[in-house]
Amino acid sequence: MKKDKIILLKDCFYIATFNDNDDEISGQDILIKGNRIERISKDIKLSDEETNNAEVIDCSHHLVIPGMINTHHHFFQTLTRNLPGAQNAKLFDWLRSLYPIWEKIDKNAIYWSTLLATAELLKTGATTTADHHYLYPSHFVGDIMEIQFNVAQEIGIRFSPSRGSMTRGESNGGLSPDSIVQDKNEVIEDMRRVIEKYHNPSPLSMRRIILAPCSPFSVDKELMIETAKLARSSGLRMHIHLAETKDEEEYCKKNYGKRPLGVMKELGWLGEDVFFAHGIWFNNDELNLLKETNTGISHCPTSNMRLGSGIARVREMIDMGITVGLGVDGASSNDTSDMLGEVRNAMLLQRIRYGPTGLTAREALKIAIKGGAKLLNFPELGSIEEGKGADIVIFDMDQLQYAGSFSDPLASIIFTGFNHQTSYTIVNGEIVVRNGKLVHFDEDEIAHRANEISKNLIT
Ligand SMILES: [Zn+2]
């Protein structure tokens, strides 16, 4: 029988457990066996046999926290970041300028953009990620999800992508060219296929599917209803962009006679198995409805600032008990996949709206860790506790960027720091970032290939 791999995190300078008591402890060891945390205690001794099978990491200068969970992204957009024509546009204009470029994506673009996005996520502290892929150009031949799952497995990230969809093209009142929308039946058939082929519902699954029409202005009601039926009969999460901009609100009022959340209510899209990206423009009644139905929000502060979309009412959502997770959003509106940077922006943005207590560093981290675990339905992730999944990120605090901030080592990585990179990232009991570098890929090659493909797309 194959022996479980062992990792021993020795003499940790500071561990923020994010357990139910929010315990923060110093000078303890963490023993990982297989894909779970086996023990947390002072001075753990390994047997001779265990020592032969173990990697011991000296954590005496390190902050150790649970892996963060990115709940919203569009990996393909990493190849079209920072485009001058889309740098200063609001959402609908931004989309119109990018769709014709995105339409050209091929298998290579999917492969290298997935690698680039997941590399950045792992290096900045995310151990699990969603991806909302809604772009299926008519010329594309191949299985996008197969490429993405293979990359996720090779690089070592826990992956819960969405089978996204767009069925409403320009000729039918939508924003996107007709060449990148699909027929409703084609979408449903493919959703069934990917669930059957890839979805693994086990507690520490590395492969989970989410069903996610793109937005109220890019799909038809029938698809929304069918998607909800399929998701619920398969035990899947459901996701969509919602209440992101005032333009979207106007679109919904004009085309459906309702505000965005009213449309969701009519279509059966509320519940603890549903989470919306952005959720900026909810009124008080709508926040109450989210709370009553346990519907969640993926907050994307950087994208919201970048596109000038608005400030989500996260402070109030948390106080009401609404589940909020964090998402870096697509890399054409962030324009990074910097997970720790997103936590910092979440904290700062709430303070613009609510003052200096708008969001604390710990609350912002909690959203990124526990909120994400709840939205993506991973109850065995989101804390450092014996028996929990071994998804852990480790920051070397003995660096210029954190100097002078040790009065609060946990808040230090949010208030200070400028590169946001982990020293080690452990996913499912495997070290996938070691000494700040990806273990399984050459980072220079990823950058080089992504640049080549990006150049071909935009010229
Ligand atoms: Zn998005």
Query: How many A from CA of 22 to the centre of ligand 1?
Result: 31
Query: How many A from CA of 246 to the centre of ligand 1?
Result: 16
**Which of 339, 303, 334, 459 shows the shortest CA–CA distance to 82?**
334
CA distances from 35 to 6, 271, 380, 390, 429 (A): 9, 31, 11, 5, 4
What pLDDT does residue 4 have? Answer: 86
Query: How many A from CA of 325 to the centre of ligand 1?
Result: 14
Q: How far apart are CA 429 and CA 433, in angstroms?
A: 12
Query: How many A from CA of 80 to the centre of ligand 1?
Result: 14
What pLDDT does residue 174 have? Answer: 87
What pLDDT does residue 2 have? Answer: 65
Query: How many A from CA of 255 to the centre of ligand 1?
Result: 22
What pLDDT does residue 333 have? Answer: 93
Query: How many A from CA of 330 to the centre of ligand 1?
Result: 5
Query: How many A from CA of 176 to the centre of ligand 1?
Result: 15
What pLDDT does residue 1 have? Answer: 55
Query: How many A from CA of 299 to the centre of ligand 1?
Result: 10
Q: How far apart are CA 18 and CA 28, in angstroms?
A: 15
What pLDDT does residue 3 have? Answer: 75
Query: How many A from CA of 72 to the centre of ligand 1?
Result: 6
What pLDDT does residue 173 have? Answer: 87
Query: How many A from CA of 193 to the centre of ligand 1?
Result: 24
Query: How many A from CA of 24 to the centre of ligand 1?
Result: 34
pLDDT, tens only, 13-39: 999 999 999 999 999 999 999 999 999
Report field, pTM of the whole predicted structure over 0.95? yes
Size of the chain, expressed as the number of residues it contains? 459
Query: How many A from CA of 164 to the centre of ligand 1?
Result: 11
Paired tokens of 184: 């409703």
Query: How many A from CA of 335 to the centre of ligand 1?
Result: 12
Query: How many A from CA of 195 to the centre of ligand 1?
Result: 22
Query: How many A from CA of 409 to the centre of ligand 1?
Result: 32
Query: How many A from CA of 242 to the centre of ligand 1?
Result: 9
pLDDT, tens only, 110-150: 999 999 999 999 999 999 999 999 999 999 999 999 999 99
Query: How many A from CA of 23 to the centre of ligand 1?
Result: 34
Query: How many A from CA of 270 to the centre of ligand 1?
Result: 19
What pLDDT does residue 440 have? Answer: 98
pLDDT, tens only, 376-409: 999 999 999 999 999 999 999 999 999 999 999 9
Q: What are all long-range contacts of 105-109, with beta carbons under 8 Å and residues at least 24 apart? A: 105/76, 105/79, 105/135, 105/137, 105/140, 105/457, 106/140, 107/140, 107/142, 107/147, 108/453, 109/76, 109/79, 109/453, 109/457
pLDDT along the chain (459 residues), means of 10: 86 98 98 98 95 96 98 97 92 90 95 98 98 95 97 98 96 90 97 98 98 95 97 98 96 96 98 98 98 98 97 98 98 95 98 98 98 98 98 98 98 98 98 98 98 95
Amino acid letter, 19: N
Query: How many A from CA of 57 to the centre of ligand 1?
Result: 37
Query: How many A from CA of 111 to the centre of ligand 1?
Result: 19
Query: How many A from CA of 407 to the centre of ligand 1?
Result: 37
